[in-house]
Amino acid sequence: MSEILIKNASVCDPAQGINCETMDICIKDGKIVESVSANAKVINADGRLTMAGGFDGHTHSAGKINVGRSINPNDARKNLVPGLSGQVARTEKTRAQVGYNTPNTYAIGYRYAKLGYTTICEAAIPLIAARHTHEEFKEIPILDKMGLSLFGSNWQVMEYIRDKEPEKLAAYVAWGLKASRGYGVKIVNPGGGEAWGWGKNVSGLYDPVPNFDVTPAEILMSLAEVNERLQLPHSVHVHCNNLGKPGNYATTIETMKLFEKIKPSRDRQALHVTHVQFNAYAGTSWRDFETGAPMVADYVNGADHLTFDLGQVIFGPAVTMTADGPVEYANARMLHEKWSNQDIELEDASGVVPLFYSPKSFVNAVQWAIGLELALLVKDPWKVMFTTDSPNGGSFVNYPEAFTYLMSAKRREEVISGFSKMALDRMVLPGIDRELDFYELAIMTRSAQSKMYSRPEKGNLKPGSDADIAIYDILPGQIDPSTEYAKVKKAFSGAAYTLKNGEIVVKDGEIEATPKGKIYWVNAKVPSAIDSAMQKDIDIKFRKYYTVSKSNYMVEDAYLQKPVEITTEGVF
């Protein structure tokens, strides 16, 4: 097959400790190799910044986003980031694109590729709705995809925890991942989704879930133990209790502390806490609301069992979408906004609410600052994954803009200068002068993900890895990101080249080719005796409660485009 030689690349590959060194990269048959023949096609990088393809480990790009699309038809005409949003007519190579926060599936693939991203992880798949998620995955071109399946408010999960049946619980989680063709265990406001079925919420880690007599802490611990028993490639991925409430930083730290006793079964974290910006609020109400980022960062700096992602806020319109039903109800009431609410049968809740982050609102200004504070106050970038929880904090097409906040104190000052005195009093960001370099940015946007998700072939440029590569129009030694942030933004907004499995998919910021991406899913092996005992229990659930039969519930391989099955051995 084809061979490519990328010459004179200024390579930034933190997995190998390479910090903007000029070298050549050889590609053969979609993989990075040591050398190629003289017949290889040559791409001259001319000293430009070259990284592995970006990896967005937490994005809402398939599934619930469709509810966002239907309640925000006006999003289709929004064009706030020209070139990466709005309505674009079809071309010879691309299909028609619309939207900003909730773009159509094709636009999601094209736009991520233009940013140099080649892998995404859908953050929440309700098991029963997995078929829909995979239908959307199929229509997102270029990118490799995976998704996290929801288990945090599931009846069967909570019953097994209450009845102290960890083996059956493991069998159920393994079956749930298979049924949804999911990659990992997502826990959203543990227990809260079920409580919301009764119009309630859980208030903290030790508040029992109505009718199940289990606490969020028990749900978290049991699922974490199962996650390690099954040796899953990713740790549990947790959206903490009390999201969006002033004072919730304490719950977040408490949750992180719980996991100190979890021993990871692989070389990765024991816990991933997601969109921590929404969970790092201090104060007791919206009146005395202030940043809780220093306390959270302080704990994270002293701990080595966890990773987290930001959930950075971008000013402008956004669409919140989460399985955290009660939060969305609160949002809709507080903001007098449109509200979509769904009951996911025996499994969870879900809600969608559009909102607008304004720099004039002191709450929004502080939220904006908290994301950056977390990224800058946590010393080790390997613990941090950059996200906007797209589109909850803002659309992913704003990543280049957000990179400038991380790389330039001057750019931050520019934004901060528009804030009110009250907002400034509630944040610590103005006192932080740290500026990330390209190396640290590469860690937060691709290399850390490779480790967090145990995908050694992603997020690095080692021989043997997938040839997913982004070349940006930046000459590392000759640019000062802290002052030339406009250039940085422009370069990251349209990669000079994006290669996906050794194929040029983006050239000079325009789509060149639209190959189909792979779908990763995890098949965790469970002894058949335990599996069949568990099946008997869920058969009752399907007979008594579910609206679908078990045979129609499972997502078949026919639904997956280029599936990649990752098998793990459960320890029983």
List 59, 61, 72, 105, residue binding another protein (CB under 8 A)? 72
Q: How far apart are CA 377 and CA 276, in angstroms?
A: 13
Instruction: Give the contacts of 94 (CB within 8 A, at least 6 positions apart).
Output: 88, 106, 110, 511, 514
The window from 74-82, 242-250, 357-365, 493-501 that contacts another protein (CB under 8 A) reads 74-82
Pick from 17, 82, 267, 336 the residue near another protein by CB under 8 A.
Answer: 336
Q: Residue 74 interacts with another protein (CB under 8 A)? A: yes
Among 21, 29, 73, 549, binds another protein (CB under 8 A): 73
User: Which 3 state secondary structure label does DSSP give 282?
Assistant: strand
CB of 2 vs another protein, minimal distance in Å: 37
Site of tokens 């992913």 = 396
The interface region with another protein, picked from 72-80, 113-121, 164-172, 377-385 by CB under 8 A, is: 72-80
Three-state SS at 541: helix
Other beta carbons within 10 angstroms of residue 412's beta carbon come to 24
Among 16, 21, 44, 77, binds another protein (CB under 8 A): 77
3-state secondary structure of 320: strand
In the complex, minimum distance from the CB of residue 286 to another protein, in angstroms, rounded to a whole number: 17
CA neighbor of 328 nearest in space, from 354, 310, 346, 348: 354
Q: Residue 389's CB: how many other CB atoms inside 10 A?
A: 28
- Residue 343, classed as helix, strand or coil, is strand
CA 317 to chain CA centroid, Å, is 19
Taking the complex as a whole, the smallest distance from the CB of residue 72 to another protein amounts, in Å, to: 5
Subset of residues 253 to 272 that bind another protein, contact rule: CB under 8 A: none
Q: How far is the CB of 82 from another protein (least distance, A)?
A: 18
Ordered DSSP codes for 432-488? ------HHHHHIIIIIHHHHHTT-TTSSS--TTSB--EEEES--GGG--TTT-HHHH
**Shortest distance, position 75 Cβ to another protein, whole Å:** 7
Closest-CA residue to 121 (of 438, 459, 492, 475) = 459
User: Residue 563, preceding bond cis, omega within 30 degrees?
Assistant: no
Q: In Å, what is the CA distance from 63 to each residue of 103, 149, 345, 365, 380?
A: 12, 12, 16, 30, 33
Q: For another protein, which stretch binds (CB under 8 A), given 69-77, 197-205, 465-473, 525-533?
A: 69-77
Q: How far is the CB of 405 from another protein (least distance, A)?
A: 28
Question: Among 59-67, 68-76, 434-442, 530-538, which window interacts with another protein (CB under 8 A)?
Answer: 68-76
Q: Which is nearer to another protein, 335 or 424 (CB)?
A: 335
Site for another protein in 413-472 (CB under 8 A): none
Q: Which of 9, 11, 49, 71 binds another protein (CB under 8 A)?
A: 71
Least distance from C-beta 356 to another protein, angstroms?
9
Nearer to another protein, 334 or 422 (CB): 334
| 537 within 8 A of 544, measured Cβ to Cβ | no
User: Which token pair is 354?
Assistant: 């559009």
CA atoms within 13 A on the CB side of 133: 31
Tell me how far, at minimum, the Cβ of 165 lies from another protein, in Å.
47
Give the shortest CB-199-to-another protein separation in angstroms: 19
CB 29 within 8 A of CB 93: no
Q: What is the pairing mode between strands 144-150 and 117-125? A: parallel
Instruction: Between 9 and 332, name the residue whose CB sits nearer to another protein.
Output: 332
Pick the piece of the chain touching another protein (CB under 8 A) from 73-81, 286-294, 318-326, 511-519.
73-81
Query: Least Å distance between CB 73 and another protein?
Result: 4
What distances in angstroms separate CA 72 from CA 37, 99, 104, 327, one per listed residue?
Answer: 52, 10, 12, 19
**Nearest-angstrom CA–CA distance, 206 and 208:** 6
Q: Provide the mask over 341-380, with x wherever binding to another protein is found by CB under 8 A and - wherever it is not.
A: ----------------------------------------
75 binds another protein (CB under 8 A): yes
Site residue total, another protein (CB under 8 A):
7
Residue number, 74 or 211, with CB nearest to another protein: 74
Nearer to another protein, 75 or 159 (CB): 75
Q: Is 87 in the site for another protein (CB under 8 A)?
A: no
Q: Return phi, psi of residue 529, to 5°.
A: -65, -40
What element of type H or E holds 157? helix 155-162
Q: Which stretch binds another protein (CB under 8 A): 71-79, 323-331, 454-462, 499-507?
A: 71-79
Give which of 397, 385, 411 is closest to 494, Cα–Cα. 397
Whose Cβ is closer to another protein: residue 353's or residue 436's?
353
- Provide the mask over 217-256, with x wherever binding to another protein is found by CB under 8 A and - wherever it is not: ----------------------------------------
CB of 94 to another protein, least distance (A): 17
Residue with tokens 């002033």: 246
Distance of closest approach, residue 80 Cβ to another protein, in angstroms: 15
Three-state DSSP class for residue 571: coil
Which residue stretches of 115-211 are H helix? Answer: 130-138, 155-162, 166-180, 192-196
State the helix-helix crossing angle for 399-407 and 485-493, rounded to 10 degrees. Answer: 150
- Among the listed ranges 40-48, 65-73, 112-120, 251-259, the one in contact with another protein (CB under 8 A) is 65-73
Q: x/- binding map, residues 23-62, to another protein, per CB under 8 A? A: ----------------------------------------
Closest-CA residue to 554 (of 525, 528, 521):
521
CB of 92 to another protein, least distance (A): 16
Contact segment (CB under 8 A) with another protein among 70-78, 275-283, 404-412, 440-448 equals: 70-78
**Nearest distance, CB of residue 226 and another protein, angstroms:** 41
Q: Which is nearer to another protein, 336 or 536 (CB)?
A: 336
- How many CA atoms are closer than 13 Å to the CA of 297, on its beta-carbon side? 21
Enumerate binding residues for another protein (CB under 8 A). Answer: 71-75, 77, 336
